[in-house]
């Protein structure tokens, strides 16, 4: 059985992303969203990606500091999101792509993010959404743990990628939003925006297969937007932007 937490998977993951044009274009789309968030952030401060893995964000945002809790060869620093080694108010923007649901203590992360962010600093979280399509996939056809009924924001971690709660972003920023506001009065949720009902699943994600040809990517991009306009809860993923007051 493949060890999902092995740092030796770096080259394999990078090759998979690069070999699937539709998945590559989806990553570029996500990185461009972060670039847009940076433009609204303070003028000075560190730009940080947590859980960079084998991604290629530096092709889009060269000034970003990449990091991961796994010792991947391609990242700038090894960083635990719950114990970040940065000075108070020294970070202006933080990006998490499909990472939030793997953090075993997101309250600790949000406390650390509040400490590290400069006033006006931003966090962009792109993560799984507890939507009408995705909830079936995450429960029955996905390898990661998924528990929308969880009563806490924590879980026991056996490894950075093998442990998760796929519903965690929805739990914290939707179901328990009143609790989030009470616990983190200095973090303002600017939006919770469900997106991408179909493209990621059709691309096959980090698996070897895909049923989304590159030529069909524009059509399914349009279809994803239309579906979310009709019913936001069709979204399989979500964009969440937070601002440090």
In a domain, 84, yes or no: yes
What's the pLDDT tens digit per position in 177-216?
Answer: 999 999 999 999 999 999 999 999 999 999 999 999 999 9
Structure tokens at 2: 């493949």
**3-class secondary structure, 40:** coil
Confidence label for 1 from pLDDT (cuts 50, 70 and 90): low
In the chain, how many domains are there? 1
Q: Which domain holds residue 213?
A: 7-244
What's the pLDDT tens digit per position in 79-99?
Answer: 999 999 999 999 999 999 999
Sheet holding 117-128, edge to edge: 77-78, 65-68, 46-50, 91-97, 117-128, 237-244, 187-195
Confidence label for 109 from pLDDT (cuts 50, 70 and 90): very high
Confidence label for 4 from pLDDT (cuts 50, 70 and 90): confident
User: Taking Cα atoms as reference points, which of 57, 225, 173 lies closest to residue 68?
Assistant: 57
In a domain, 126, yes or no: yes
Instruction: Enter the pTM of the model.
Output: 0.97
In a domain, 1, yes or no: no
In a domain, 83, yes or no: yes
In a domain, 159, yes or no: yes
CATH number at residue 45: 3.40.50.150
Question: Is-contact 91 46, C-beta < 8 A?
Answer: yes
Q: What is the pLDDT of residue 184?
A: 98
- The half-sphere exposure of 107 on its side-chain side, counting CA atoms within 13 A, is 12
In a domain, 2, yes or no: no
What is the average pLDDT value for the chain, to the nearest integer? 97
Structure tokens at 100: 């939030």
Question: Is-contact 93 34, C-beta < 8 A?
Answer: yes
Per DSSP (E only), the strands in the chain are: 46-50, 65-68, 77-78, 91-97, 117-128, 187-195, 237-244
């Amino acid at each position: 059985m493949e060890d999902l937490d092995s740092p030796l998977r770096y080259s394999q993951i990078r090759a998979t992303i690069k070999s699937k044009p539709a998945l590559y274009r989806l990553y570029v789309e996500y990185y461009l969203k972060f670039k847009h968030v940076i433009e609204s952030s303070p003028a000075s401060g560190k730009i940080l990606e947590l859980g960079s893995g084998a991604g290629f964000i530096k092709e889009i945002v060269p000034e970003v500091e990449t990091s991961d809790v796994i010792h991947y060869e391609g990242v700038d620093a090894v960083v635990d999101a719950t114990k970040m080694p940065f000075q108070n108010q020294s970070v202006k923007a933080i990006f998490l792509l499909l990472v939030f649901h793997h953090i075993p203590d997101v309250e600790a992360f949000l406390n650390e993010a509040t400490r590290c962010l400069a006033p006006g600093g931003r966090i962009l979280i792109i993560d799984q959404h507890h939507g009408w399509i995705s909830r079936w996939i995450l429960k029955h056809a996905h390898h990661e743990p998924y528990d929308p009924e969880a009563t806490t924001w924590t879980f026991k971690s056996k490894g950075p990628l093998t442990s998760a709660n796929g519903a965690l972003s929805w739990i914290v920023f939707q179901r328990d939003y009143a609790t989030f506001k009470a616990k983190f009065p200095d973090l303002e949720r600017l939006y919770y925006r469900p997106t991408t009902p179909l493209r990621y699943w059709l691309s096959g994600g980090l698996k070897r297969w895909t049923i989304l040809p590159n030529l069909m990517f524009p059509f399914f991009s349009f279809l994803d937007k239309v579906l979310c306009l009709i019913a936001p809860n069709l979204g399989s993923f979500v964009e969440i932007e937070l601002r440090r007051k």
